[in-house]
């Protein structure tokens, strides 16, 4: 019986030591987790303060989206102008208009 009693006592002592050790480890883990959370919060506050200082004032910020200006009206030749130039060319070929008259009328039609 002495052997059995010695083994039981050893088991109780070992179990108690294991339970106490586990509790100590949990308390230390919680303590370190709280310290890590506080450190992370301080770092986040410092980062937010730094980013707030780096933002440009509102008058320098670009709007989210701005429509581009409409394209300028085309400066191409209209169909009416082309028709008038054809008629001028025909009149010049027929000898009704001289070269100088043709050039003057052409510049007038093209707006030059």
Give per-residue pLDDT as tens, 69-101: 776 666 677 888 889 989 989 999 999 989 999
The model's pTM is 0.34
Which one, of 73, 74, 77, 112, lies nearest residue 86 by Cα?
77
Give per-residue pLDDT as tens, 14-40: 777 677 677 878 888 888 888 888 898
Question: Which residues, including other chains, have CB under 8 Å from residue 105's CB and lie 6 or more apart?
Answer: 88, 97
Which H or E run contains 39? helix 2-54
pLDDT score for 56:
64
Cβ–Cβ < 8 Å for 63, 81 = no
Using 50, 70 and 90 to split pLDDT, how confident is the model at 62? low
Give the whole-angstrom CA distance, residue 99 versus residue 105.
10
């Amino acid at each position: 019986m002495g052997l059995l009693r010695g083994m039981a006592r050893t088991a109780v002592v070992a179990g108690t030591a294991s339970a106490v050790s586990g509790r100590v480890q949990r308390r230390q883990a919680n303590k370190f987790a709280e310290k890590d959370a506080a450190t992370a919060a301080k770092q986040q506050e410092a980062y937010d303060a730094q980013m707030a200082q780096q933002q440009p004032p509102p008058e320098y910020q670009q709007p989210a989206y701005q429509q581009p200006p409409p394209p300028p009206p085309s400066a191409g030749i209209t169909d009416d102008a082309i028709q008038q130039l054809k008629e001028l060319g025909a009149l010049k070929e027929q000898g009704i208009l001289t070269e100088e008259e043709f050039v003057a009328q052409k510049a007038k039609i093209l707006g030059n």
